[in-house]
Amino acid sequence: MEGIEMTETMKEFFERRPELNCIIFAGKGGLGKTTFSAATSHWLAEQGKRTLCFSTDPQASLSDIFERDIYGKGIQSFAPNLHVLEIDSDRRVNEYQEGIRKKILDMYNLKELPKEIDEYIKAAASEPAMDESATYDAMAELMEKRDYSYYVFDMPPFGHGIRMVSMALILDTWIDKITEVRMKAREYDEAMATLRGKTEAEKEDVILKELTEIREKLDFFSGVLTDSKRTAFFMVLIPEKMAILDTERALKMFDSMKLNLSGIIVNQVYPPELLKRKDLGDFLKHRIEMQQRYMKVIWEKFEPHIRAVVPMYDREPKGLKMIAKVAGDLFGWKLER
């Protein structure tokens, strides 16, 4: 379907999808995901929509882009409707760990944890997947509250970002299996209680309850992520070979996970008009020519997906002023043919 349609601009894309409320930027590192997350949030806020821009990147950079220290400081706001959050996932993991420790001590009235359990908690908390899950959990928690009209997620570099989505699907299957085992165990509990003429099994299975809670959270979130009416995935691309290859791979991955790619934004394009200037040095000239060659390839390969082409700036896009400028370029872009 999308292949037949004309290229939709970023603005048209948002205007035609009023139900949209979750926007995710994915792509290789350093291409401008954070910049576009900030710019999109800025634009939406300007349209009067209550927007939350949330960085899930452990090497978080929203602080840098907005030029404020917001890391681990909760939800901050420095423009009307524009709210920004950068979580400190290490701290979150630590707090979570402490919570589990305390729960065990309280549940069994212990003074200190058995050694092997303590060691296990320590080992589990240092696994890299822990951060990911904690972030994921935080995302789901935020969205469930429905406090904002738009949630813009700045995801960590590729692979990982998409993994978060696929993890939801895999986890869902696991939780299914575990729940099944629990249900069976409960059946046995009940049967035994009847055989012995007791009614002790009526006690609620707390584990089952906990599992159902995890499940509901995941279901809600993966439901949102796979609903193309509510969620948009954008990929950021630059006119270079590696990025093009990566995007092709990503398209396949999206397909295999039955997710819709909402669009591709081409970033860091040197203005081709510069080529007309006589004082242009060889270095820049070659770069621009190379980019233009790759731009052709990009249009051939991804035309129906392209939502905007954003230029290379003469300085780093930082601070509210620059973000507003990027937002203007991103949402003001029109196809010129």
Partner 1 sequence: MNEEKKKGTEAKKAVKELVYGMAMHDMVRYSLKTRMYLEHLFMLITLGDMLGIPLLPPYYSLKMLPYAVPNIKSWQRRLFRERDFTDSLY
Query: Which residues of this protein are in contact with partner 1, per CB under 8 A?
Result: 96-97, 100, 103-104, 107-108, 114, 116-117, 120-121, 123-125, 127, 129-130, 132-134, 137, 167, 171, 174-175, 177-178, 181-182, 184-185, 188-189, 191-192, 195-196, 206-207, 210-211, 214
Please tell me the distance from the alpha carbon of residue 131 to that of residue 135, in angstroms, as a whole number.
Answer: 6
* Of residues 178 and 244, the one with the C-beta less far from partner 1: 178
- Cβ contacts of 127 within 8 Å, gap of 6 or more: none
Rank residues 46 and 219 by Cβ distance to partner 1 and give the closer one. 219
Instruction: Specify the residue, 113 or 244, whose C-beta has the smaller distance to partner 1.
Output: 113
Distance in angstroms (rounded) separating the CA atoms of residues 21 and 156: 20
- Shortest distance in whole angstroms from residue 136 CB to partner 1: 8
- The smaller minimum CB distance to partner 1, of residues 79 and 113, is found at 113
Residue 130 CB, shortest distance to partner 1, in Å, is 5
* Helix (H), strand (E) counts: the chain: 11, 8
Q: Rank residues 184 and 277 by Cβ distance to partner 1 and give the closer one.
A: 184
According to DSSP, residue 71 is labeled B
Q: How far is the CB of 159 from partner 1 (least distance, A)?
A: 16
At closest approach, how far in Å is the CB of 330 from partner 1? 35
**Length of the chain, in residues:** 337
Task: Map residue 228 onto helix, strand or coil.
Answer: coil
Percentages helix, strand, coil for the chain, rounded to the nearest 5?
Answer: 55, 15, 30
For partner 1, the closer CB: 133 or 226: 133
Q: How far is the CB of 248 from partner 1 (least distance, A)?
A: 29
79: β partners: 82
Shortest CB 214 distance to partner 1, Å: 6
- For CA atoms 4, 10, 11, 17, the dihedral sign is positive
Q: At what angle do helices 241-256 and 282-302 cross, to 10 degrees?
A: 20
The answer to whether 27 and 236 are in contact (CB under 8 A) is yes
